Structure 1
Amino acid sequence: MASSLIVNALQVNFDSVLTFPEEGMVKMFKALKSTGLRGFLGCPSVLYEQDLEHFFSAAFFRENKVISVVQGKFVGLSEEQFAGAFGLPIAGLTYMTEVPKDLLYDARSIFSASGEPVKTSCKKIEMKFEFRLLNDILAKSVTVKAGSFDDVTHERFLLMTAIHFGLKINWIKILFDILKEMVTKPSKQAKGFAAQICVLLKGAPNLTLGEAKTFPPLKILTVKTVGTYVAKNKNITADEDEPVEKVVKKAAVKRRPAPAVTEPATKNKRTTVVRAAPAEKDLSIVPVVQNPEPISVLPAVNHRAQRRRAPKRKLVLRDGSDAETVENIIKQVLTEPAEVEDVETDLEESMVMKTVGTDPIETESRIDISAITNYDADISSKVLSNEEEPLVEMEKEKDKVRVLRRCLTLQTQSP
């Protein structure tokens, strides 16, 4: 955990950086020193990793103190201890919103690398090298920001303006509030101040710390490290000025010539599958109906049992009145239409006689043909005129007429 506390931390060796050959960089470090941060940023760089881990794992804030347990003993850190250990000022601006607006307006042009006023929330690359470095020092060692440092926030821009113009800042109030946020559990404040907390723990009474390690030299700003920082930023600027040309050159080198085509490529022919035509013998088998008649028009077929007809015989009437016989037949047909066939059969059998060697006796009485004909006509006209009766009634009337015609035929065929 101790390594994570110093991964972005920076310490400043003011005696070394004030000898930097560039005037703008020296002026920036002098302004930073004059605000009272020399003791805080240039403190002895000694780390006690295990003790730092124990401190942050058990730390909490109570009664204006940061309390924790280190080596089995309670340790408390207060604002007075912070102020006395690092010589921090206790008077001045507490909130950066108190920076005068006219100074903020001037700083937008002074910080700009191009001369055009920058915004208070801008990219770090838009500013001069010394103010880029000032932004990193404040973000990593003062406000302790985690993540990327390419963007300059509005609050940090105000803090840079106050430092540049030499405004008094109440650093003990600002820094101790940041420490309280570090030990507050729900807070998103990143943990830092590793070198400063180790200095305070070392000065605590009756507390023996563990193994000590030196601060990484590359994280301490000196003339050499500042020169390296400026050189890297110049290269970043040059790379951003000509990014397109480099990409085009690399792409041109990697290109390969297309292979020459000596012969034209042959196109694949499409093959279509056609269904074979039906044979003539198959067509000759299919019957063709000429002038087909719709099914609804076809008359219903009445399947009747075929009757066996007797050979024609001579009709010999029995003794009795002809009028009575005809009237009885008509009456029976009218009253019992369902038994017409049986009556007709019985009538034929009763009226036909076999003659073996002798002639039948023929009576002089005959059936009145005019009566039967008139009755037949009356029935036909009745059947034709009554179109609203059901088909069954019409069939019954037709059966009656058929029986009467049969009787008439038998009478006419008799000698």
Structure 2
Amino acid sequence: MASSYYTNTLHVSFESVLAMDNPGMVSMFKALTTSGLQGFLGCPAVIYEAALIDFFENALVRDGVVISTVAGKLVEMSEELLAETFELPMEGLTDLLDIPKDLVFDAQSIVSFSGEPVSISGKRKEMKIEFRLLCDIMAKTISVKTGSFDAITQEKFLMIAGITCGVKVNWNRILFNILKDMVTPGSRQAKGYAIQISLLLENAPNLELGDSSEFPSSKILTEKTVHRYISLNDKVGGEEVADVPRVKRTPVKRAVSKKRPAFAAVDEPVLKKKRTTKGNPVSSKDTLEMVVVAQEAVPLQMIAPTTAAPTEQPPLPKRKSQKRKRRLVLSSEDEIVDSEAIVGGTSVEQELAVEHAFEEQKIDDVDDIIQQILTDTA
């Protein structure tokens, strides 16, 4: 689309900006007027988009003249036509590198924001606000460069130095050479001059250009737009930026996932889970009254037979099994006795009494069993 030819272009309404109440800006725009660029930067802002597309698609350079076909008709643009239309100066330096070095050094101090000479390879923020705007005009409208406009290049600074120090420059030759680079195949020069080419085509005889469109008002430098530019860029400078305190960032605590196990310290012992076995529940009473069996071997005590006459016992039922079981018998002194090791008639009676008590009574309480054994034995 034709809008790509004037996306970054800045046009100037000199009548408006020269009436501003800003000495720095007014002085800069007066320097532009003195340089002879007022007619080129302040011409009527009219755009013929269809004609612009035809012009750049068919344009070429022949014998130092730019020719093209627009709406089926041949159009020629010469250096003289450019100077006559925009009242550009045709005398002065044709190469900006010929500007005296002492003037370039003076310009480095004049445009400086801090008072120290700016670096030609530095940043635009090193300049005063009015010269930042002048740098934008030179980059976007005169030299028509693409990419970052914040960096200061040698070409842009030499243009600023020539305008600021009042050096006579043949702007007509410089601008026409840029136009030729725009239509030269393989050139890296960006296409621009949309307003100026539209005006040249409008003055061409017997040429139908079609509908025109107005140039965006936001890109025309007036008192209002310049004040907006100042408000957006005034605080961008070396000293002011350095005074702004930096905001410390608060470290963000990362949430620890509950699923991830916490690592134990190296010195802390690792607790092992105790194995538990399933079994029948034991009552608290049984647990408290159970006899603790020693781990070491305990010798069996022999109980001597007593001479006392045995008491009469009721007849006992016959034992169903002939196999004798090894049982532990609790004596009256709460000691463990082996029933097979007991010798004598009284020991047999004690064994039968114990067996009878277990089979008939079937009492779970240890205290009752012991009491029954003691009673039967007596």
Please give the range of the TM-score, normalised by the shorter of the 2 chains: 0.5 to 0.7
* Corresponding residue number in structure 2 for 1:115: 115
Bigger fraction of residues in helix: 1
SS of alignment partner, residue 205 of structure 1? coil
Change (3 A) 1:5 1:239: farther
Matches of residues 184-333 of structure 1 in structure 2 within 5 Å? Answer: 184-237=184-237, 240-241=241-242, 245-246=246-247, 248=248, 251-252=249-250, 255=252, 267=264
SS of alignment partner, residue 27 of structure 1? helix
Report the Cα distance in structure 2 between the residues aligned to 1:40 and 1:8, rounded to whole angstroms.
16
8 Å CA contact 1:48, 1:209 repeated in 2: yes
Asked whether 1:71 is paired with 2:71, we answer yes
- Matched residues, percent identical? 51
Matches of residues 123-134 of structure 1 in structure 2 within 5 Å? Answer: 123-134=123-134
Change (3 A) 1:208 1:266: closer
SS of alignment partner, residue 246 of structure 2? helix
Report the Cα distance in structure 2 between the residues aligned to 1:30 and 1:97, rounded to whole angstroms.
24
Matches of residues 43-62 of structure 1 in structure 2 within 5 Å? Answer: 43-62=43-62
**By how many angstroms is 1:68 displaced?**
0.7
State the one-letter code of the partner of 1:162.
G
**By how many angstroms is 1:229 displaced?**
0.8
* Corresponding residue number in structure 2 for 1:167: 167
Report the Cα distance in structure 2 between the residues aligned to 1:235 and 1:127, rounded to whole angstroms.
12
Deviations 1:24-70 (A, max 9, x none): 11111000111111110001101011110111011000022111111
State the one-letter code of the partner of 1:241.
A
Change (3 A) 1:236 1:187: same
8 Å CA contact 1:10, 1:141 repeated in 2: yes
Deviations 1:179-203 (A, max 9, x none): 0000001100000000000000011
Report the Cα distance in structure 2 between the residues aligned to 1:193 and 1:266, rounded to whole angstroms.
70
Report the Cα distance in structure 2 between the residues aligned to 1:5 and 1:103, rounded to whole angstroms.
34
Report the Cα distance in structure 1 between the residues aligned to 2:4 and 2:14, rounded to whole angstroms.
25
> Which protein has the larger Cα radius of gyration, Structure 1 or Structure 2?
1
SS of alignment partner, residue 234 of structure 2? helix
Deviations 1:134-175 (A, max 9, x none): 000011110001111001111221111111111111111000
**By how many angstroms is 1:130 displaced?**
0.8
**By how many angstroms is 1:120 displaced?**
2.2
SS of alignment partner, residue 245 of structure 1? coil
8 Å CA contact 1:121, 1:157 repeated in 2: no
Report the Cα distance in structure 2 between the residues aligned to 1:96 and 1:266, rounded to whole angstroms.
71
TM-score (normalizing by structure 2): 0.66
Report the Cα distance in structure 2 between the residues aligned to 1:225 and 1:97, rounded to whole angstroms.
33
Asked whether 1:145 is paired with 2:145, we answer yes
8 Å CA contact 1:64, 1:78 repeated in 2: yes
Report the Cα distance in structure 2 between the residues aligned to 1:73 and 1:94, rounded to whole angstroms.
32
Change (3 A) 1:245 1:120: closer
Deviations 1:87-142 (A, max 9, x none): 01110111111111111111111111001111222210001011111000011110
SS of alignment partner, residue 66 of structure 1? strand
* Corresponding residue number in structure 2 for 1:11: 11
Kindly tell me the number of residue pairs found equivalent between the two proteins. 264
* Corresponding residue number in structure 1 for 2:93: 93
8 Å CA contact 1:49, 1:212 repeated in 2: yes
Structure 2 gap segments, 5+ residues each: 273-378
* Corresponding residue number in structure 1 for 2:316: none
SS of alignment partner, residue 163 of structure 1? helix
Structure 1 gap segments, 5+ residues each: 272-415
Report the Cα distance in structure 2 between the residues aligned to 1:142 and 1:257, rounded to whole angstroms.
54
Deviations 1:253-294 (A, max 9, x none): x845989x9xx95749599xxxxxxxxxxxxxxxxxxxxxxx
Change (3 A) 1:266 1:99: closer
Report the Cα distance in structure 2 between the residues aligned to 1:165 and 1:106, rounded to whole angstroms.
8
Change (3 A) 1:124 1:265: closer
Deviations 1:237-267 (A, max 9, x none): 4984367623x2xx33x845989x9xx9574
Change (3 A) 1:256 1:79: same
SS of alignment partner, residue 92 of structure 2? coil
TM-score (normalizing by structure 1): 0.60
SS of alignment partner, residue 68 of structure 1? strand
* Corresponding residue number in structure 2 for 1:33: 33
**By how many angstroms is 1:80 displaced?**
1.1
Report the Cα distance in structure 2 between the residues aligned to 1:122 and 1:39, rounded to whole angstroms.
31
Change (3 A) 1:117 1:203: same
Report the Cα distance in structure 2 between the residues aligned to 1:161 and 1:266, rounded to whole angstroms.
69
